[in-house]
Amino acid sequence: MSFRLLVDFVIHPFRQLSVASSLALKLVLLSTLTLTLASWLGVIPNPKSSEIRRKAVISETLAITSSLLAEQHENRLMRENLTAIVARYPDVTSACIRTADGAVIHQIGDHALHWRLKDDEASTRNNICVPVMHQSRRWGTVEVSFSQDRGLLMTLFQQPTILLGIVSVIFNGLLFRWYLGRALAYLDPSKSVPMHVRSTLDTFAEGVVVLDKDQKIVLANDKFKRHVGRSDRELLGNRIDRLPWQYESDESAEHLWDPGKSAIDGGRVSLELSQSRRTYLVNSSAICGDDGRRRGTIASFDDITLLENKREELSRMLIDLKESRDELATRNQELKYLATRDSLTGCLNRRTFFEIFDKHWEAARQSGASLSCFMVDVDHFKSVNDTFGHSMGDEVLRKVAHVMQQTARNCDVVCRYGGEEFCLLLPETGADQAWDAAERIRCAIEKIEFEALSVTASLGVSSISFGATEPQELLDQADKCLYVAKRNGRNQVIRWDEVPEDTTVEPTTREDPHAHGDQDNDAPIPYPAVASLLSALAYRDSATAAHSSRVAELCVAVATGLVSVRDSYLIEVAALLHDIGKIGVPDAILLKPGSLTAAEWEIMHRHDRIGVEIVKAAFANEKLVDIVRFHHIRYSGTADAPWLPQGDSIPIGARILTIADAFDAMVSDRVYRKGRDRDEAFTELRRCAGTQFDPELVERFVAVVREHKPIDLKPGSKEAALQLGLQIEELVRALDEQDIAGIKSLAARLQATAARGGISQIERVATELTATLGDDADLMDVLRLVNELLELCRSVQKTYVDTEFAEVPGAAAGDLLAHACTTASHTSMP
C-alpha cells in the first residue's frame, strides 16, 4: 500500500492531463528511450569519447617528443615544446615534466593548482599522466592538466544526442497530441451514456460510479469526482481499485467492486487526500444484461466521515467514562471506609458501630448465639490533658486504640464511643470469654510505655445472657459496670453479674435529672432505621445531612458524663434527625443557592412539624419525639405560647441540641456569608444564655468544645466528598440508561452541593450540564461534561482520601485496607 501511495504521488501531476495528452507523453518517452538506447549501443557517435581520445593523443604526442629530446639532452627544446603545446590548445591549463624520482624539470602554468592526481593514481579525463621512456627504462613522466568541464547545462546542449532528444520531444509531442486527440474522441466511454442520465446522476447527494466488467470506470457523477479529487480525464478508463482506498478487511477489498449478482450493502472504505482522511459507506450492485451475464457494477458512496469521527470520539469518551467511573467507585469505597472511622484513632465511629451492633444483635437473637460487649475508659484522662497537653492526650488515645485493635480478634468490633471511652463488641462470645478478653486488654493497656506517666483503664463487661432485651440495654449494663469499676478504684474489670442490684449511678453525673416518665415504656430505636432516614436526607440535601452529623458529634461530646449512655444515644439520634423534615421541602427552596424570601421561609419553618411527625411515625419513643419537638424552644419561654415548657422543664436533650445546632450554623459557611470563628460563636452563645439557651449548658458546651479538637466544619469533609462521589455515580448510571430527566435532576443537585461546598469548578460544569440538557441535547456534549465532572470529582476525592489515609493511625495503607475488608465483612452480615 505504501509503494502504491508513493507511485501515486509521483505521477499525480500527470493525471491533470487529458487522456490524449497522457498517451502522447508516453509515446514521446518511448521515442526518447529509443534514442538513448541507440546512443548507448554506439549507433549514434558519442562526442565525449572523441574528446577523451583527443586529449590522450595530445598527451602521448608530448610524451614521445619529450622522450626524444631527453635522449639528446635538449632541455631547452623540451621546455619550448611544452610551452608550444600549452599555447596551441586552449583547454590545456598546465603541463609538467618530472623525473622518475618526482623532481620537476619543466612546468608551464599553475600546475600545482590544476593537477588533481596523487602518486600511482590512474589518469582521469582532465588529468592525464604519460610515462617518458629512455633506453627502455622509465626516465620520467609528462603530466597534462585540461580545463574542467563547463556547466552542466552548456555541456548538455553541446551533446548531439541531447539536442536530438529535445527536438524529438517537442516535435513528436505536438504531433502525437494532435493525432491522438482526433482518434480518442471516438473512444470516450462516457459518450455512450446519454446526457440526461449523466445529468440525473449529478443530482444525487451521494457519489455514484459505473464500472465495466473489468472494474474500469465508465462514468462518475460530480459528487464522486469531488469525493476523490479527480476529474473525468483522470478517472475514465482506469480501474477503481487503483485509487488509494483503505479497506476494512481483505474480504471487503476483494468483493466490494465485484459483487457478483448480489448487492453489497454497507461496506466501508477510507480515502486519504491532502492529509485529510474521508470515510465512505459503499453500496454496490451488479449490472446485468438481458442474457443475465454481469456487464458491470454500479456503486454509491455516502460520505460518513463526520459520523465516523463522532463514533470514534464517542467510543473514546465511553472508554474514558468507564475508566473514570471505575476509579470513582474505588474512591467512593475508600471514602465510605473513611466515613466509618474515627480520624484520631482509626477505630469505628459511633454511627457505624450502632449499625453493625444492630446486625449482630439481630443475628444473635435469631440464632440463639452469644453476644457480649465491654466499655473501656482511660483512667484520669482529664488530668493527662491538663498536665501534659492535648497532644499527649491524643497520643494516649491512639496507643490505647492500637492496643485494643491488636489484641481483639478479627471478628470483634472496636469503636471509639466518645472522648476517652471505647466499646468492644464480641460476636459469638459468652460472658466468661468476654471477661478474659477484657482482662487481656486491661493488662496490655497497663504495659503501654510513656515518658513521665503511666496509663491504666477501667472496663465494664456485659453479655446478652444477662437478660438485656435490646442493644442499648446491653450498652447500659456495660456502662454501669464501668462506673462501678471506676468507683472501686479503677484499673479493673467488672462484669454485670458482679454489680450489686442496689447499685445506682450518681444522678448528678450519670443520669439525666430532667428525664421524665419510665424509660422502659419507650420503644427501642434501631439504628439501621436512623441511618436509612439520614441517607434519604443526604440524597435530598447533602449539606443538611452533613450539618446533622456534625451537630450529633457536638451533642455526644457535651452529653458524655452528664447523662446516661442510653440518654446520650437518644440525644445523638435526635440530633441526626432534627432536620429530617426538610425531606418534605420542595427542591426549588431546599436547593436554592441564595437567601430565601419571607414566603419561602414560611415553607421552610414547616419542616419542624414534618420532622416531628416523621420521627413519631418511625419510632414510638416519646422522649426522642420531645427532644425533636422542643429543640427550638427558647429557654426563657415564649410569650406567644405560654403552654410550652421553659427553663429546666425543657428536656435536657433538646437544650443541648439547640445549642449545638446554633453553634454549627454560626461557624459554617453559607453562600451569602462567611462562617464565624469559634470564639465569636462562643460570645454569641453566652450573650443569648438565659434567654435562648440554658446558661449552665452553654458554659459546659464551651468548655467541652474548647477541650476537644475542633470538629471539621469545612465543606471538604469526607461526608461532602462522599456525597459528591455518590451523586456522580448516580449521574453516570442515569447516563447509561439515557434518562435525560434523571440526568437533569441529578445535575441540579450536584450544582447545589458544589455551591454549598464552595467547589466552583464542579458548580460551573454542573451548571453548564444543566443548561445543555434541553430537548435537542447533544450526546457528545453531555458525555464531555459528565467526563469533566468525573475528573473534577476524582481530584477532590483523591485530595481528601490521600490526606485522610496519611492522618489515620497505622503507617501502612495495607493495614487500613485490611480494616476496611474486616468492616465490610461485618457490614455484609444478614
The CATH number for 81's domain is 3.30.450.20
* Burial bucket for residue 210 (CB in 10 Å: 0-12, 13-18, 19+): buried
- Whether this prediction's pTM lies above 0.75 is answered by no
Q: Does residue 366 belong to any structural domain of this protein?
A: no
Nearest 5°: phi and psi at 231? -100, 170
Cell numbers of 399, please?
A: 496507643
| Mean pLDDT score across all residues of the chain | 77
pLDDT at 438: 94
* CB of 482 closer than 8 Å to CB of 475: no
Residues 626 and 775 in one domain: no
At a CB cut-off of 8 Å and minimum separation 6, what does 732 contact?
321, 325, 328, 786, 790
At a CB cut-off of 8 Å and minimum separation 6, what does 202 contact?
221, 222, 223
Question: Of 138, 331, 301, 277, nearest to 209 (Cα)?
Answer: 301
Residues 546 and 422 in one domain: no
Pick 403 or 20 by higher pLDDT.
403
* CB of 299 closer than 8 Å to CB of 283: yes
Q: Does residue 786 belong to any structural domain of this protein?
A: yes
Asked which of 687, 713, 739 is the last residue of a domain, the reply is 713
* CB of 218 closer than 8 Å to CB of 212: yes
Q: Does residue 346 belong to any structural domain of this protein?
A: no
Q: Does residue 224 belong to any structural domain of this protein?
A: yes
Residues 39 and 131 in one domain: no
Residues 379 and 469 in one domain: yes
Residues 65-73: contacts with CB under 8 Å, at least 24 apart: 66/97, 66/132, 66/140, 66/142, 67/132, 67/133, 67/134, 67/139, 70/132, 70/134, 70/139, 70/140, 71/134, 71/135
Asked which of 713, 744, 763 is the last residue of a domain, the reply is 713
Cell numbers of 160, please?
A: 548531439
* Burial bucket for residue 767 (CB in 10 Å: 0-12, 13-18, 19+): middle
Residues 737 and 789 in one domain: yes
> Following DSSP, what letter does each residue of 109-126 receive, concatenated?
S-HHHH--PPTTPPP-SS
Residues 822 and 744 in one domain: yes
Question: Given a cut of 70, is residue 469 above it in pLDDT?
Answer: yes
Cα separations (Å) of 442 from 70, 423, 457, 499?
Answer: 128, 13, 6, 19
Residues 429 and 471 in one domain: yes
Buried b (16+ CB within 10 A) or exposed e, 187-202: eeebeeeeeeeeeebe
Cα-based angle 347, 665, 612 (whole degrees, multiple of 5): 85
Write the pLDDT tens digit of every residue in 303-329. 777 777 777 777 777 677 677 667 666
Nearest-angstrom CA–CA distance, 424 and 407: 11
> What's the mean pLDDT in 684-699?
91
Asked which of 262, 277, 303 is the last residue of a domain, the reply is 303
Q: Does residue 328 belong to any structural domain of this protein?
A: no
Q: Where does the pLDDT of residue 714 fall: very low under 50, low under 70, confident under 90, or very high at 90 and above? A: very low
Question: Given a cut of 70, is residue 816 above it in pLDDT?
Answer: no
Q: Where does the pLDDT of residue 561 fall: very low under 50, low under 70, confident under 90, or very high at 90 and above? A: confident
Nearest-angstrom CA–CA distance, 796 and 179: 79
Q: Does residue 752 belong to any structural domain of this protein?
A: yes
Q: In percent, how much of the chain has pLDDT > 90? A: 16
pLDDT at 415: 93
Nearest-angstrom CA–CA distance, 623 and 515: 8
Question: Given a cut of 90, is residue 652 above it in pLDDT?
Answer: yes
Q: Does residue 3 belong to any structural domain of this protein?
A: no
Nearest-angstrom CA–CA distance, 23 and 306: 39
Residues 179 and 256 in one domain: no
> Cell numbers 491524643 correspond to what residue?
394
> What's the mean pLDDT in 813-824?
38
Give the HSE-up count for residue 387: Cα atoms under 13 Å, Cβ half-sphere: 9
Pick 762 or 652 by higher pLDDT.
652
Question: Given a cut of 60, is residue 823 above it in pLDDT?
Answer: no
Q: Does residue 350 belong to any structural domain of this protein?
A: no
3-class DSSP state of 646: coil
Question: Given a cut of 70, is residue 252 above it in pLDDT?
Answer: no
Nearest-angstrom CA–CA distance, 761 and 759: 6
Q: In percent, how much of the chain has pLDDT > 70? A: 74
Per DSSP, what are the bridge partners of residue 130? 142
Question: Given a cut of 90, is residue 101 above it in pLDDT?
Answer: no
Write the pLDDT tens digit of every residue in 475-527. 999 999 999 999 999 999 999 988 877 666 554 343 444 444 444 456 678 77
Residues 539 and 616 in one domain: yes
Residues 31 and 73 in one domain: no
Q: How many CB atoms lie within 10 A of CB 410?
A: 9
Nearest-angstrom CA–CA distance, 491 and 378: 9
> What's the mean pLDDT in 787-810?
63
Give the HSE-up count for residue 701: Cα atoms under 13 Å, Cβ half-sphere: 31
How far, in whole angstroms, is CA 385 from its chain's centroid?
A: 46
Nearest-angstrom CA–CA distance, 110 and 93: 8
Active site residues: 420
Q: Where does the pLDDT of residue 752 fall: very low under 50, low under 70, confident under 90, or very high at 90 and above? A: confident
**Number of structural domains the chain divides into:** 6
Write the pLDDT tens digit of every residue in 76-86. 888 888 888 88
Q: Which of 155-159, 170-174, 236-240 has the lowest mean pLDDT?
A: 155-159
Question: Given a cut of 60, is residue 728 above it in pLDDT?
Answer: yes
> Cell numbers 430505636 correspond to what residue?
525
How far, in whole angstroms, is CA 271 from its chain's centroid?
A: 33
| Domain range for 295 | 189-303
pLDDT at 271: 64
Residues 554 and 572 in one domain: yes
Pick 187 or 204 by higher pLDDT.
204
> What's the mean pLDDT in 14-32?
69
> Cell numbers 424509660 correspond to what residue?
519
Nearest-angstrom CA–CA distance, 686 and 693: 8
Residues 691 and 726 in one domain: no
